[in-house]
Structure 1
Amino acid sequence: MQSLDRPQWVTADVRHFDLTTLGKFQVIMADPPWEINQELPYGLMSDNEMRTMNLGALMDNGVIFLWVTARVLELGRELLERWGYLRVDELIWIKTNQLCQLSRRPPAFLG
Structure 2
Amino acid sequence: MLVIIMDPPWRIKGAQQNDSSFMFSNSKFNLEYDTLSNQEIMNLKVERLSRKGFLFLWILSNQINTAYEMMNKWGYEVVDQVVWIKLKDKKIYLSHGYYFMHSFEMCLIGYKCPPGEQIEYNTKICNDVLFGEVRAKSQKPEELYEIADMLMPGSKKIELFARNHNLRAGWFSLGNQLGETYEKWYNIVNCDNCNEPIYIGIKRYKARHEPDYDLCEKCFESLEKNHDDFFQMNNLVNEDVLHKYHSCNHCMTEPIWGVRFACIDCENFDLCECCFD
1:94 and 1:72 mapped to 2: Cα distance?
18
Say whether the 8 Å CA contact 2:4–2:56 is kept in structure 1: yes
Pick the structure with greater CA Rg.
Answer: 2
Q: TM-score normalised to the size of structure 1?
A: 0.64
Q: Which runs of 5+ in 1 are unaligned?
A: 1-24
RMSD: 1.9
Q: TM-score normalised to the size of structure 2?
A: 0.28
Q: Which runs of 5+ in 2 are unaligned?
A: 16-28, 95-100, 105-277
Return the structure number with greater relative CO, CA threshold 8 A, min gap 6.
Answer: 1
Aligned length: 83
Give 1:32 deviation, angstroms.
0.5
* Greater strand fraction, Structure 1 or Structure 2: 2
Structural mapping, 1:1-111, within 5 Å: 25-36=1-12, 37=15, 38-98=29-89, 100-103=91-94, 104-105=101-102
3-state SS of 1:94 partner = strand
Q: Deviations over 1:52-99 (max 9, x none)?
A: 221111100111110112122222111101111111111111223336
Q: Which residue is equivalent to 2:228?
A: none
AA of the residue aligned to 2:49 = L
Give 1:40 deviation, angstroms.
2.4
* Greater helix fraction, Structure 1 or Structure 2: 1
1:30 and 1:84 mapped to 2: Cα distance?
15
Give 1:48 deviation, angstroms.
1.2
Give 1:29 deviation, angstroms.
0.6
Task: Give percent identity, aligned residues only.
Answer: 30
Q: Which residue is equivalent to 2:263?
A: none
1:77 and 1:97 mapped to 2: Cα distance?
30
AA of the residue aligned to 2:8 = P
